């Protein structure tokens, strides 16, 4: 069976991690009293993560339907909560991120199903584009990401359809904090509903994937995102220091020191569109704001210095909010710990887009990975209250865990796939 390293990462964090790996090879010294060794560099953690990934991959493969789709409770929900093709796309993205080759039969069957499912919601369109980008993506030794457009006409048409859906389905209705509406902002939401920052974050991720796949995303779309999110961030927050991490010589252990210059204001984002009320911010939606701004700043040609400066400050203040409210065991400040697995996925994307080994003083990958390892079920799945079902939670967990610094995990053997293919009555190739 063909496997590959994680292909869904941006250049920044991959390059940083490779540099720190070289440092680890040179010296493993003893940590200073306040030193932190990033989870990326912890050999024991990497071994345990690989085993968790192997078990999670087998869980997903065992839940594939005979026709090639993945379906759970969310596939059958009515109306604007429908996520029918989204679960198939999310499973495909997770499997390929974890090293399952795009040439494997389960992947090919899944994409054939996906290509025949026109998107009806933002989540479906966005996650489908993430899956296509994952299938066409490679990372070279220097950490450079390259994405090949789909080769088959049916896949290319579906990518066009998903991109068009996202570009044409921004809502013009933005809820003000006082119950009114504000204009002219247009973001994404459920059909016939106000916009929200969860749908918007996934739409931004999907449009970034579309751009990588060679589809044109208008500059005005990125400009609108850069203008919108600073407007709806919490107006104020506690003043906090700007932290810098340092390592001595070749040691992989890092210490934190208060940086010079402007101090930060810990300000986050809430779920609803419109200006965030004080105390309404949550971890998942703050990560949504951070990653949306960083992607838009990189994808759009933002020439106005004041717009760029304001957006970059919003990102720094958002990261400061995450530092102040740090938690990987729950979705920070979210009632009932709702959408915890999705929070970890968005945290992963926000940290990557900002090329961050640490969130403030916190080892985001190490903390999150250890939490996931301690909560994986014997079946290989992750089950937690609140939010989507077990299938989606498992996909989000695998997308968090799979990183380019981890060596190839012991994924299911070719014999495993051949046996599955025999049971399913499919051919070895597609």
The confidence score (pLDDT) of residue 217 equals 96
**Confidence band (pLDDT; 50, 70, 90) for 191?**
confident
Could you give the dihedral angle defined by the CA atoms of residues 190, 195, 199 and 203, in that order, rounded to the nearest 10 degrees? 110
Of 55-59, 78-82, 352-356, give the lowest mean pLDDT range: 78-82
Of 37-51, 132-146, 195-209, 362-376, give the lowest mean pLDDT range: 132-146
Sign of the CA dihedral 299, 301, 307, 310?
Answer: positive
Of 8-22, 252-266, 380-394, give the lowest mean pLDDT range: 8-22
User: What does the pLDDT average to over 161-166?
Assistant: 96
User: What does the pLDDT average to over 140-158?
Assistant: 85
The percentage of residues in the chain with a pLDDT greater than 70, rounded to a whole number, is 75
The confidence score (pLDDT) of residue 329 equals 94
DSSP string, 164-218: HHHHH-EES-EE-TTSSEE-S--EEBSTTS-BBHHHHHHHHHHHHHHHHTT----
Residue of higher predicted confidence among 422 and 204: 204
Asked whether residue 274 carries a pLDDT value surpassing 90, the answer given is no
Residue of higher predicted confidence among 413 and 185: 185
**Arithmetic mean of pLDDT over the chain:** 80
Specify the length of the chain in residues: 430
Per-residue pLDDT reduced to its tens digit, 350-398: 998 998 888 988 999 999 999 999 999 999 999 876 567 899 999 999 9
The confidence score (pLDDT) of residue 284 equals 95
The confidence score (pLDDT) of residue 10 equals 35
Per-residue pLDDT reduced to its tens digit, 111-141: 999 999 999 899 999 999 999 999 998 877 7
Contact 35, 253 (CB under 8 A): yes
Residue of higher predicted confidence among 176 and 259: 259
Report CA-CA distances (Å) from 30 to 48, 197, 250, 360, 370.
Answer: 22, 43, 12, 23, 21
Asked whether residue 335 carries a pLDDT value surpassing 90, the answer given is no
Per-residue pLDDT reduced to its tens digit, 385-428: 656 789 999 999 999 998 643 333 334 444 444 444 444 443 33
- Vertex 153 angle, CA 148 and 154, to 5°: 105
Asked whether residue 174 carries a pLDDT value surpassing 60, the answer given is no
User: What does the pLDDT average to over 179-207?
Assistant: 79
The confidence score (pLDDT) of residue 24 equals 34
Residue of higher predicted confidence among 92 and 248: 92
Separation between Cα atoms, residue 364 and residue 352, nearest integer Å: 11
Asked whether residue 150 carries a pLDDT value surpassing 50, the answer given is yes
Please report how many Cα atoms fall inside a 13 Å half-sphere around the Cα of residue 17, on the Cβ side: 25
Q: How far is CA 383 from the centre of its chain?
A: 19
Asked whether residue 309 carries a pLDDT value surpassing 90, the answer given is yes
Nearest alpha-carbon partner for 310 in 370, 358, 265: 265
The confidence score (pLDDT) of residue 178 equals 44
The confidence score (pLDDT) of residue 211 equals 96
DSSP string, 81-147: G--HHHHHHHHHHHHHHTT--TTSHHHHHHHHHHHT----SHHHHHHHHHHHHHHTEEE-TT--EEE
Asked whether residue 32 carries a pLDDT value surpassing 60, the answer given is no
Sign of the CA dihedral 403, 398, 392, 348?
Answer: negative
The confidence score (pLDDT) of residue 12 equals 38
- Vertex 385 angle, CA 380 and 389, to 5°: 60
The percentage of residues in the chain with a pLDDT greater than 90, rounded to a whole number, is 53
- Vertex 239 angle, CA 236 and 241, to 5°: 140
- What residues contact residue 102 under an 8 Å CB cut-off, 6+ apart? 96, 108, 135
Asked whether residue 30 carries a pLDDT value surpassing 60, the answer given is no
In degrees rounded to 5, what are phi and psi of residue 356? -105, 120
Asked whether residue 21 carries a pLDDT value surpassing 60, the answer given is no
Separation between Cα atoms, residue 200 and residue 206, nearest integer Å: 10
């Amino acid at each position: 069976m063909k496997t590959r390293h994680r292909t869904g990462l941006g250049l920044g964090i991959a390059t940083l991690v490779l540099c720190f790996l070289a440092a680890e090879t040179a010296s493993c010294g003893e940590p200073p009293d306040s030193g932190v060794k990033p989870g990326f560099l912890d050999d024991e953690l990497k071994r345990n993560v690989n085993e968790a990934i192997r078990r999670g991959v087998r869980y997903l493969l065992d839940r594939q339907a005979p026709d090639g789709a993945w379906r759970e409770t969310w596939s059958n929900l009515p109306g604007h909560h429908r996520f029918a093709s989204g679960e198939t796309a999310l499973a495909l993205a997770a499997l390929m991120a974890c090293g399952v080759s795009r040439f494997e039969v389960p992947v090919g069957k899944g994409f054939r199903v996906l290509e025949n499912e026109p998107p009806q919601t933002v989540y479906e369109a966005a996650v489908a584009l993430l899956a296509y980008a994952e299938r066409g993506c490679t990372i070279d030794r220097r950490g450079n990401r390259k994405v090949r457009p789909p080769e088959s006409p049916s896949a290319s048409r579906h990518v066009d359809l998903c991109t068009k859906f996202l570009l044409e389905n921004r809502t013009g209705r933005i809820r003000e904090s006082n119950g009114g509406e504000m204009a002219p902002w247009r973001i994404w939401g459920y059909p016939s509903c106000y916009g929200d920052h969860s749908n918007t974050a996934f739409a931004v991720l999907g449009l970034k994937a579309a751009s990588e796949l060679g589809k044109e995303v208008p500059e005005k779309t990125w400009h609108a995102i850069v203008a919108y999110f600073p407007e709806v961030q919490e107006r104020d927050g506690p003043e906090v220091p700007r932290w810098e991490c340092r390592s001595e010589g070749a040691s992989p252990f890092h210490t934190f020191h208060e940086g010079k210059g402007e101090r930060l204001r810990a300000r986050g984002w809430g779920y609803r569109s419109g200006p965030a009320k004080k105390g309404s911010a949550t971890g998942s939606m703050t990560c949504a704001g951070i990653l949306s701004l960083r992607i838009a700043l990189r994808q759009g040609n933002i020439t106005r210095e004041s717009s760029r400066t304001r957006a970059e400050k919003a990102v720094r203040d958002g990261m400061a909010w995450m530092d102040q409210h740090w938690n990987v065991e729950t979705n920070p400040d979210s009632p009932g710990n709702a959408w915890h697995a999705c929070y970890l996925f968005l945290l992963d994307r926000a940290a990557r887009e900002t090329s961050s080994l640490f969130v403030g003083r916190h080892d985001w990958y190490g903390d999150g990975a250890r939490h996931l390892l301690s909560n994986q079920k014997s079946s290989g799945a992750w089950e937690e209250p609140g939010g989507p079902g077990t299938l989606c939670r498992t996909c989000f967990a695998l997308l968090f865990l799979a990183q380019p610094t981890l060596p190839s995990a012991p994924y299911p053997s070719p014999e495993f796939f051949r046996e599955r293919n025999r049971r399913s009555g499919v051919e070895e190739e597609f």
